[in-house]
Amino acid sequence: MTHSLHRRGTAESLKNDYVLLVTAAADVNHVGSKEKLRKVLEVVWDIGPSNIGSYDTGTVYAGVNIEEIKAALNEIPRVRCAFSSREKIKEVIRRIKELDLGMSVTVQGPTEDILEMSRELGIKPHSVNLSLDIWGKTGDLPSDDVLEVVTQCGHGLISRYLVEKAIAEVKAGKKTPRQAAEMVAHPCVCGIYNPDRAEEVFKRYALASAEAAATKE
Amino acid sequence: MLVDQEKCSGCGICVPYCPAQAISIVNKKAIIDRDACLECGNCIRSLVVRCPKGAFYEEPGLYEGPRAIRRFFSDPSTSHKVTKIPGRGTEEVKTNDVTGRVCRGEIGIALEVGRPCLGTTMTEVEKCTMALAELGIEFEECNPLTHLMEDRKKGTIQKQYKEEKLVSAIIEFAADFKMLVPIMQRVKKVAQELDTVFSLDLICCYEDDGSLPVLPVLEELGMKPRVNSKVNLGLGRPFKIYREKKEEKVCDTFTA
């Protein structure tokens, strides 16, 4: 169970952040599923994810292309990707439903939005994984902004120190918010990190830096 | 991981990528604090750190001793050679519409110990498993952590793994709905005793009218779910939502 669930941030910052997870279940329906998931990848790519990758290849931001991701699907295949708009994720779901592949489709995002989309598409959700927050020694955690970025990696591979370095470089004007967001993308090998959303976090620092410079002048 | 000191140029490009802050530059060379290293593999991946000299390498014999669990619990691209089970946990809600791992009238719980950011030792994980075991819960068969236990009824971890450090370990189990309150009370209590953090998950099925019976109970417990969640859309087949009989569990795969 996972951090594709526990993405941190305010309701506003989570508004356009969706993760699509299409999965074959071992020993239930994985036999012959590779071709089905290739079709899903084609739909996803056609609509335009904000990130996509796989454990075996890495992501598009690390220099991998969609053909390599397709070719790397293994015997128990899975599709992992991120979207930055409600319209896009809804269209992906609509087209996957139309394909009628019988594979499990799970979406991470604002719960009410997913349920509303489901109603609009005539889908009755099966189950939900609810995030009941972080517990324990929370005083040792980094700032909310850093958490907002690191929790976008499903396996905890985005280092807080990399995010802090990126923030420092944006503040110093050495990197644009987009460059910072793409630099941080590399460790998240399966591709559910959303650089569009991370860019918004880094923009806060670019703005603060610009305001500070204007005040000095 | 280790650094080939002859190859390393001391450029330091690798340093911020380490989630455990285990890499430092000493005498113009990168060195790795072996105790802090979680063996997540970030530094060795050619598409992540991109060490210009290819100086990182895997410690010989890593998979032979208890340290192997660092690798298996921290690097998602590894298959679990110690437990024979891949990944840190099951596919949880992601395939729940076909596995029926959690059906109506049941709850699925997970504590991901060490996440976010802080990591964990197995000793911290054991504090949680022992506390939960007292409630008589059955730990998930298809989760690798369960296979590192010395005694599943007591939730104890085998001694040789206790000091190993990991990005995270996931404690997973399913239980009857009526166990929700005692489990959450126990979870709150053990949280106060930990030297790390955990993220808490609750899986449940929608009723025919779209309601979730857990919500009023959670409200009474003061545990309001966050605004974002993972919803299984129910497009998988064969569809399963009621538990018809006690079945042998079939191991699922990686978690993301």
Give percent helix, percent strand, percent coil of chain B, each to the nearest 5: 25, 20, 55
Helix (H) or strand (E) holding A110: strand A104-110
Mean pLDDT of chain B: 92
- Count of CB contacts below 8 A, A vs B? 308
Single pTM value for the model: 0.94
B177 at A interface, C-beta within 8 A = no
Report if residue B67 sits inside a domain. no
What are the residues facing B230 on neighbouring strands?
A108, A129
- C-beta of residue A98 within 8 angstroms of C-beta of residue A71: no
- Residue B21 belongs to domain with CATH number: 3.30.70.20
The answer on B157 and B109 residing in a single domain is yes
The answer on B197 and B124 residing in a single domain is yes
The answer on B100 and B53 residing in a single domain is no
Report if residue B27 sits inside a domain. yes
- Per-residue pLDDT, B63: 87
Domain that holds residue B117: 92-221
Cβ contact, residue pair A159, B204, below 8 Å: no
B residues 31..60 contacting A (CB < 8 A): 40, 42, 45, 47-48
Judging contacts by C-beta atoms under 8 Å, the chain B residues touching residue A14 are 227-228
Closest CA to A25 of B112, B108, B23, B100: B100
A137 at B interface, C-beta within 8 A = yes
Give the residue ranges of chain B where pLDDT is below 50: 253-256
- Residue B128 belongs to domain with CATH number: 3.30.70.260
| CA B163/CA B146 separation, integer angstroms | 17
A72 at B interface, C-beta within 8 A = no
The answer on B148 and B108 residing in a single domain is yes
Cβ contact, residue pair A3, B89, below 8 Å: no
Peptide linkage before B225 cis (omega within 30 of 0) = no
CA atoms in the 13 A half-sphere facing the CB of A87: 2
Q: What ipTM score was computed for the predicted complex, to two decimals?
A: 0.96
Give B22-49 pLDDT, tens digit per residue: 999 999 999 999 999 999 999 999 889 9
- Per-residue pLDDT, A214: 80
A66 at B interface, C-beta within 8 A = no
Identify the residue whose tokens are 């009526």.
B178
Report if residue B192 sits inside a domain. yes
The answer on B118 and B6 residing in a single domain is no
> Distance between alpha carbon B112 and the CA centroid of its chain, in Å?
5
Cβ contact, residue pair B233, A126, below 8 Å: yes
Give percent helix, percent strand, percent coil of chain A, each to the nearest 5: 45, 15, 35
- Per-residue pLDDT, B146: 94
Cβ contact, residue pair A127, B232, below 8 Å: yes
Structural domains for chain A: 18-120 (3.30.70), 138-216 (no CATH)
Q: What is the pLDDT along chain A (217 residues), one digit of tens a residue?
A: 466 899 999 999 999 999 999 999 988 999 999 999 999 999 999 999 999 998 888 899 999 999 999 999 988 899 999 999 999 999 999 999 999 999 999 999 999 999 999 999 999 999 999 999 999 999 999 999 999 999 999 888 999 999 999 999 999 999 999 999 999 999 999 899 999 999 999 999 988 777 777 887 7
Number of domains in chain B: 2
Q: Where do runs of H (alpha helix) occur along chain A?
A: 33-47, 66-71, 86-99, 111-120, 144-150, 160-171, 177-185, 195-216
The answer on B49 and B130 residing in a single domain is no
| CA B127/CA B88 separation, integer angstroms | 18
Give B172-210 pLDDT, tens digit per residue: 999 999 999 999 999 999 999 999 999 999 999 999 999
Give the closest-approach CA distance of B199 to chain A in angstroms: 4
**What is the DSSP secondary structure assignment for residue A158, as one 8-state letter?**
S
Give A135-160 pLDDT, tens digit per residue: 999 999 999 999 999 999 988 899 99
User: Which residues does A77 contact at the CB level (< 8 Å), separation at least 6?
Assistant: A24, A30, A33, A34, A37
